[in-house]
Amino acid sequence: MRDSINTHFEEAVRWRRELHRHPQPGWLEFYSTGFIARRLCEWGYDVRLGKDAVAPEQRVGLPEAAVLDAEYDRAVRDGIDEQFIAPAKGGLTGAVGILRGAEPGPTVGFRFDIDSLEITESADPSHRPAAEGFVSANPGYAHMCGHDAHTAMGLLLAAHFAENRDRLKGTVKLLFQPNEENLSGAQAMIANGLVDDLDYLFGVHVGICLKQTGQIGLNVFDWLAMSRFEVTFTGRAAHAAVLPNAGNNALLGACAAATNLYAIARHGAGASRVNVGVLRAGTTWNIIPDKAYLRMETRGVTNEINEYMILKAREVLEGAAKMYGLQLEVKPAASTISAVNSPELIELGARVAQSLPSVREVVPACSANGSEDICLMMQRVQQRGGKAMEILLGTPLGGGHHSTTFDLDETVIRNGAEFFAAMYDAVAGNRPVE
């Protein structure tokens, strides 16, 4: 019954390359949204777009209107039919496809992220996308984290389900999620109730931990809970020579904060992280700076450890403000949690994997050591009694994730679609092809 995957694989590689050429980052994925929506519609899916896909008020880090419009226009210019992206105008990107099978059965969600990074791809001939002509056409944006392959995998899976609809038990729900990189797309779909009816949820990332084609990771842990904050200190400007005593130095407050944030005690129970990624303060040489702006994040290998980091970070920020007589504003930005795969799915997955020729090794334990907002969806599904699993799929890489020369073995697209199709069959008890 899964021949359709092999049949469409070469096509899926072309899809991936088209998506690769037209990358757009979080809340700007007009090209990929339109690309996906057109196909889902053609294949008979019930398609949800715009406000039906993402809750507008949950979109953290929404770009400015001018950028939203420019990227929308770019997608149209690049050949996307407006009928598929009109609902996404203004940054309501993402698409959901629902397909009801012939017979009753579980509701099974598959989530694929679709956003690119804000990075300029290498044009070096040693970089395969450059050599083979599908390098990013959008300067400053590039699929250097494999989300183009995730999307193609989702479309390949979608094609498979559509062709096998009459044999399907239960309901398929494909969630093409925007803005994973800034960790705010998952929450925007959850807030719309889109995972509330799921009995099963599956997700995937390529190339993390596993660097060989054919490897699959099911027992994945160490997803880091993470919280980001925009921090502003406001003091009082003063002439640095004439009246320095009249100032309240926001730059010094920010520096005291930054240093002491990194000095927060390591947690005895597991990994913690903190970073001040951006600090901007002051206007000119001889004025005591009255404004300082920071972008910072905390992480923890458990939600508790991340909470500990947040608590301590707040103390440090408040103390730094107090030290220099500053006003403090702490604005939460993106955040996510830690979650673990449902043990039953790890076990079932291992059995399913062993039946697939494309799987060469089920790696027994994978430490993710990063953050993914699918964890929010997983927790939601698990809390409501469902089961959830984020798998890792092996592929050799060009440069590492988020480098300018990231590349992957496109076989992983088929491998993932095949495994997900098999898992669906396993949990839904689909009729095999006679």
Positions that interact with its own copies (CB under 8 A): 118, 224, 226, 228, 238-247, 249, 251-252, 254-256, 258-260, 262-263, 265-273, 275-289, 292, 295-297, 299, 308, 315-316, 318-325, 333, 369-371, 402
- Map tokens 């995972």 to a residue: 195
**Residue 408 Cβ, how far from its own copies at the closest point, in Å?**
17
Q: Which is nearer to its own copies, 308 or 419 (CB)?
A: 308
Q: Which long-range contacts (CB under 8 A, 24 or more apart) does 87-91 make?
A: 87/49, 87/50, 87/51, 87/52, 87/53, 88/30, 88/33, 88/34, 88/49, 88/50, 88/53, 89/50, 90/65, 91/27, 91/28, 91/59, 91/62, 91/63
Q: Give, to the nearest 10 degrees, the angle between helix 303-323 and helix 250-262.
A: 150
The letter for the amino acid at 207 is G
Residue 209: CB minimum distance to its own copies, A = 11
Closer to its own copies by CB, 119 or 427: give it: 119
Q: Of 297 and 409, which has the nearer Cβ to its own copies?
A: 297
CB of 196 to its own copies, least distance (A): 30
Distance CA 229, CA 310 (A): 10
Q: In this complex, which beta carbon is closest to its own copies, that of residue 367 or of residue 382?
A: 367
CB 286 → its own copies: shortest distance, Å? 6
Do 250 and 292 touch, CB atoms closer than 8 A? yes
C-beta of 155 vs 374, nearer to its own copies: 374
Query: Of the candidates 206, 211, 217, 215, which has an alpha carbon nearest to the alpha carbon of residue 360?
Result: 215
Q: Which is nearer to its own copies, 267 or 360 (CB)?
A: 267
Tell me whether residue 273 or residue 360 sits nearer to its own copies (CB atom).
Answer: 273
The least CB distance from residue 306 to its own copies, in Å, is: 11
What is the total residue count of the chain? 434
Smallest separation, CB 269 to its own copies (Å)? 8
Tell me how far the alpha carbon of residue 215 is from its chain's centroid. 21
Mark out the alpha helices in 285-364 (DSSP H runs).
Answer: 303-323, 343-354
Please state, in angstroms and rounded to a whole number, the distance separating the CA atoms of residues 136 and 128.
12
- Between residues 107 and 116, which has the closer beta carbon with respect to its own copies? 116
In angstroms, rounded to a whole number, what is the distance separating the alpha carbons of residues 15 and 176? 15
- Tell the smallest beta-carbon distance from residue 288 to its own copies (Å): 6
- Shortest gap between Cβ of 178 and its own copies (angstroms)? 18
